[in-house]
Amino acid sequence: MAINTIDAALVQKMFLAGAKNLESKKEWINDLNVFPVPDGDTGTNMTMTIMSAAKEVSAIANPTMENLAKAISGGSLRGARGNSGVILSQLLRGFTKEMTNCRCITVEAIAAATQRATETAYKAVMKPKEGTILTVAKGISEKAAELAADTDNMEEALLAIIEHAEAVLAKTPEMLPVLKEAGVVDSGGQGLVVILRGMYDALTGKVTDFELSDQQSKSDGSAYVSGNKAAIDNVDIKFGYCTEFIIMLEREFSSETENAFKEYLSSIGDSIVCVSLDDIVKVHVHTNHPGQAFEKALEYGQLTKMKVDNMREEHNQKVVAQSEMQAAIAAQAQKKNESSKIPNKKYGFITIAAGSGLADIFKGLGVDQVIEGGQTMNPSTQDFLNAADKIHADVIYVLPNNKNIILAAQQAASIVDDKKLIVIPSKTVPQGISAMINFEESRSSKDNESFMLDALKSVATGQLTYAVRDTTIEGKEIKNGDIMGLGDVGLIAVGKDIDATLIEMLEKMLESNKEAELISVYYGEDITKAQAESVVSMLEEKYPDLDIELQMGGQPVYYYLVSVE
C-alpha cells in the first residue's frame, strides 16, 4: 500500500536513521576533501551537527511536528561545527520552520520545506558557491517541487529526490575544477545524500534500529578521534567541560539578546545550543570555564538544572558540584570588577595562533590577547568579542591569520559598540607577525592600518604538512603520507622527505620573490630543535646572501611555517 503521508512518529525514526547513516560513513566523507591534509573533516563536522540534534530527537517520548522541529533545529544549532555543519544546520532550520505547521508530511509539504531549507542555507552563506552542498540542496528542492505536481506517493517521491540529488552530486566536479582534478565529488553534498538514504531506508522498513549508541549520543565532539597525529585528537577536547543549564527568565530575552548571548557562549566554547521557550532558556555549551557561562546567564534570570561533565575523564563523570559552580561565578565576578578599574590605553591587539611558540612571539610583539586556533580550530565571532572585552583600549587591531577566520573577525568588529575593532585580514601567521612589526605607537590608527595592510603584501608564506590519502592536485600526484608544501596560492611542492620538500617549497617561493632578503622558519611540535637547526644550516649554505631566522612555533599539523619577504 502506498505511503502518502508521514506522521510525527515516522519523522522521528527517519531523522534518527539519517543521522546514524551519516555517522557510519563520516570517515568516507572526510576522505572526499580535496586537499588530503590532516584537517579535512567535513564528515566529522556534519556528524557532530546532526548527532547533536539526534540526541534531542531520540529523547522525545511523544513526538509531534512541533517538538520534533524544535529538537532538530535547536539540536543542530548546538552541534553546528565548521562550514559544512553550519550549512547543514541552516538546511534543517529552514526545513523545520515549514514542518512545524504541518499535521503530517506530504509530497507537497516536502516541496515547500526543501524550498525553504535551500533559501535559508543560501542566505547564511555570504558568497554561495555552486558545486557544493548548496547545489545539491537546490537540486533536491527543485525535484521536490516537480514531483509535488505529479505524485502523492512518499516512497516514490523520496526515491526520485535521492536519485536526482545523486545526479546533481555527480556533476559537482564539472562545476568546481578542483573537485574534478582530485577525482572526488563535493563532500558536503555527499553527506546530505547519505542522510537522505538513511531516511529512505527507515521509510521503507529496511532500517528498524533507531536507538543511538552511547558514543553516537555523545557525538558532539567528546568521543570523536581523527587523523594520524595526537595534535588532531586534541582539537576535539579543546573545551573540556560539557555544561548544561536552564535560565528561568526575569527580563526580556529578545532575538537580539539571544544572539548576543550565543555570541558570548561561542567566545568561551563550542557545541552550543540556546533554545528559548516562553519564559525559560535551555543552554548547552562545551567550555573550559563553566563559571563564565553561568555568570553571563545570571544576567537574564535564575539558573536551574545546572550540570557540568568533564569530557576529558574516561567515563565523562560529573566532577563539579553546584557549590563549585557558584564559587567560579563569584571568582569571575570579582575578576571582572578588578579589571574594570584598569585605565584605557590607546591601542590593543588580538591575534590567532596555534602553538605556544607562536603565541609567545605575538605576545613579545605586544599582542594583548592570543586566541588559540587556526587551520583546525576556527574561533567564533564571540571569541573575538570576549577577547576584546578583556582589552582596555579604544582601538583594537585584530589579526585572524587564516582566511577562514577573517569573516568571524569582521562580524565581531561590526557588533562592538564601546570600542573600535580594526581587522587586518592576515591569512597566515607570518603575515600577522609582519603586520605587528610594522605597527608604530606614534602613528594614527588609520595610518597604522594602512602600514599593516601594506605589510601583508610583502610576505609570502609556505606551510609544510602531510597527505592523508592518495590524490592529484594541480597536476601533481600525491600518495598517502607524502609531504606537501602549500603556498599562498595552492600546492607548490610534494615529496617523501620533510627537509627536501621544505627546500623545494622555498625554491619555488623565492622564484616568485626575486627581491627577498629574509627567510623566517617556524618549526612545529613534531620537529625537534636539532632537526630544525639542521635544515636551516642547509638553507644558509644554499642561500648565503639571505638572512635566515629560526623560531620555535610549536604549531600542530604543520611541520614548518616559512615566510619569505
Residue pair 275/354 in contact (Cβ under 8 Å)? The answer is no
Q: Which grid cell is 12? A: 522521528
Query: Is pLDDT above 50 for 475?
Result: yes
Nearest Cα residue to 184 out of 29, 23, 47, 21? 29
CA atoms within 13 A on the CB side of 129: 15
Quote the pLDDT of residue 535: 95
- 374-433: pLDDT as tens digits: 666 667 667 888 899 999 999 999 999 988 778 778 867 877 888 999 999 999 999 999
Confidence of residue 82 (pLDDT cuts 50, 70, 90): low
Name which of 33-37, 54-58, 423-427, 435-439 the model is least confident about: 33-37
Query: Is pLDDT above 80 for 317?
Result: no
- Number of residues in the chain: 565
Residue 416's SS3 state is: coil
Residue 448's SS3 state is: helix
Q: Which residues, in sequence order, are CB contacts of 18 under 8 Å at separation 6+?
A: 50, 194, 195, 196, 197, 198, 199, 202
Angle of the 42-58 helix axis to the 82-99 helix axis, nearest 10 = 40
Burial pattern 503-522, b for ≥16 Cβ within 10 A else e, equals: bbbbeebbeeeeebeebbbb
Q: Which grid cell is 231? A: 595534535
Q: Across 81-90, 179-188, 512-521, which has the greatest mean pLDDT? A: 512-521
Residue pair 328/334 in contact (Cβ under 8 Å)? The answer is no
- 120-157: pLDDT as tens digits: 888 877 678 899 999 999 999 999 999 999 999 999 99
Distance CA 47, CA 52 (A): 8
What mean pLDDT value characterizes the chain?
Answer: 85
Scan for cell 502506498, then name that residue.
2
Query: Is pLDDT above 80 for 227?
Result: no
Confidence of residue 316 (pLDDT cuts 50, 70, 90): very low
